[in-house]
Amino acid sequence: MMQPRTSLAVTAALLLVAGCNKQASQQPGNEVAAPAASTPSAMLRAAAEPFEVLTEESFAAAWDRVDKLIGDARGASAKARGVMSPAQAVALDQSLAMIADARRARDRPALALASVETYRQLVEAQDPAAAEPPIAVSLLDYAGFRYDALVQAPRVDWAAVHDASSFAQQQWKAIEPAIKSDSLKGAAANSVNALDTAAAAQNVAVARSAAATELAMVDLLEEHLALQGKKTP
């Protein structure tokens, strides 16, 4: 099936911007330092990442692999409980219970969605002033993973898919003013708009392609913002 022209344009822009960012990152003095793991926000971010992996692999991984990923995610979240409020810890326990229920039922869509919601909870528990990358960037990642999980369900809830694309638009609007590269800004806007287009068309193949492009774009946004921070006096 031929890709829509808009998807091809977005893909080409992604490749161009990725090449520019890679060259910039290789310049002396532009190495990106990881945030200190001892800060509360860094601990929460580190705890969120295994849930992102679990979400991504929920549909295709063998069950023994899924069990390992669930164990890794639970272990990571346990380390972050000490920096969470009581209410946040209760919400985390509820999400972990939903993951366990989905695993027992062998319900892969429910597992992916419960996992990505746990990722969101941990991301949003960060201090906005200290989060690296900014919380809105991580939530743009969340929106792409949730969107992709929704369209892989046996019966797609297109209203929920549209809600995920609208949420992605909200996060992009929050991020856009911080992006200094016009080419990256244009490609990112196109990738988020493609989520809306695919949701309106209710086409699973196009929607999954749009989600993959948007998720790749989030990686570029993270790198771009990290490089900007490195260059700031």
Q: List the structure tokens of 59.
A: 């549909």
The pLDDT value recorded for residue 34 is 41
CB 145 within 8 A of CB 172: no
The pLDDT value recorded for residue 175 is 95
The pLDDT value recorded for residue 227 is 87
Helix (H, G, I), strand (E, B) or coil at 210: helix
Which letter, b or e, does each residue of 29-53 get, where b requires 16 or more Cβ atoms within 10 Å of its Cβ? Answer: eeeeeebeeebebbbbbbbbbbbbe
How many CA atoms within 13 Å lie on the side-chain side of 155? 0
The pLDDT value recorded for residue 228 is 80
- Nearest by Cα to 132 from 27, 21, 30, 32: 32
The pLDDT value recorded for residue 37 is 55
Q: If 0-12 CB within 10 Å is exposed, 13-18 middle and 19+ buried, where does residue 221 land?
A: buried
Domain 133-233 top-level CATH class: mainly alpha
Residue whose structure tokens are 């209203």: 159
The helix or strand, by DSSP H or E, that contains position 26, with its residue range, turns out to be: none
Return the axis-axis angle of helices 86-105 and 108-124, rounded to nearest 10°: 170
pLDDT in tens, the chain (233 residues): 333 434 444 444 454 444 444 444 444 444 434 444 579 999 999 999 999 999 999 999 999 999 999 999 999 999 899 999 999 999 999 999 999 999 999 999 999 999 999 999 999 999 999 999 999 999 999 999 999 999 999 999 999 999 999 999 999 999 999 999 999 999 999 999 999 999 999 999 999 999 999 999 999 999 999 888 755 43
The pLDDT value recorded for residue 229 is 72
**Model pTM score:** 0.84
* Domain spans, the chain: 36-126, 133-233
The pLDDT value recorded for residue 151 is 98
Angle at CA of residue 10, ends 199 and 120, nearest 5°: 55
pLDDT in tens, 205-230: 999 999 999 999 999 999 999 888 75
Q: List the structure tokens of 10.
A: 């977005």
